[in-house]
Amino acid sequence: MQNCVMNNSETWLRSVTDEAEGTISKRIGVYQSTLSRQLRNDNLTPENVVAIARAYRRSPLDGLAAIGLVNQEDIARAAAGFGLPDATDEDLVAEVLRRIREGGSHAAFDQSLTEAPAEESDWALAAREAIVPKTENPL
């Protein structure tokens, strides 16, 4: 009987996809036997981790952390260096959607463009209030 305990490589892979190894190997361009051996031995190569992550639109850093090549501190440092100029349109849309789903909107941003504030300064004020709430006793 085969061992049912999954190793780090297998656990990470199953968090990414439930597709069969043959399908995964075709998507990343390696032989199925190579992928199977690496999974069985808990020895996915960094190249295959990155290829799998990209093929399934996941973070390569999470995969590299799963196989022990980077840790959460490394990921946090990498994220700290990531700024808006580096963000793709998809990244920006995903972040806006995440914020919308979390709530915390401002009334000015819930209006249609025809109801929007007439002055640009009104937009700036609404944005500033949404980011930094007013305090009762400013110093």
CATH code of 51's domain: 1.10.260
- Same domain assignment for residues 99 and 75: no
Return the amino acid letter for 18: D
Query: Do the beta carbons of residue 46 and residue 62 sit within 8 Å?
Result: no
Q: What is the pLDDT of residues 45-90, one digit of tens each?
A: 999 999 999 999 998 998 999 999 998 888 887 777 667 777 788 8
Tell me the CB-side half-sphere exposure of residue 4, using CA atoms within 13 A.
1
**Average pLDDT, rounded, for the chain:** 79
Instruction: Identify the residue with better confidence: 96 or 130.
Output: 96
* Global pTM exceeds 0.75: no
Residue whose C-alpha is closest to residue 35's, from 15, 59, 52: 52
- Same domain assignment for residues 70 and 12: yes
The answer as to whether 62 is a domain residue is yes
Which tokens sit at 29?
A: 């361009």
Structural domain count of the chain = 2
Domain range for 18: 8-80
